[in-house]
Amino acid sequence: VTGASFVVFNGALKTSSGFLAKSSIVEDGLMVQITQETMESLRQALRDKEDFKITCGKMDAGDVKEYVDICWVENEEKTNKG
């Protein structure tokens, strides 16, 4: 689990790169590079206020994967106030 001050979603990752998605820590935030198709799905999930999971890593990496989970919560008391 990584805490971050901000998240950047970059929809310019090419499918020919061999990655499902890439995540990296940038300063005190998180940058997630995703394909244009995944960006469209993410946008729709945000509009519909639905949870969304992004699988990061190489397409042929087997079981070793990282995930970026976007979750909507009802109780805001347990979230970061900043």
- Give the CATH number, domain containing residue 12: 3.30.1360.220
- Residue 63 maps to a domain: yes
Q: 41 has which bridge partners? A: none
In this prediction, residue 5 carries a pLDDT of: 87
Residue 56 token pair: 């990061």
Q: Which two tokens stand for residue 58?
A: 């190489």
Q: Residues 54-72: pLDDT tens digits?
A: 999 888 877 767 899 999 8
Q: What pLDDT score does 65 carry?
A: 77
In a domain, 80, yes or no: no
Amino acid letter for position 51: D
* Side chain identity at residue 18, one-letter code: G
At 82, is the pLDDT very low, low, confident or very high (cuts 50, 70, 90)?
low
pTM, two decimals, is 0.79
The residue range of the domain holding 66 is 6-70
Give the chain's domain count.
1
Helices (H), 1-82: 36-47
Domain assignment present for residue 22? The answer is yes
Please give the radius of gyration of the chain, using alpha carbons only, rounded to the nearest integer: 14
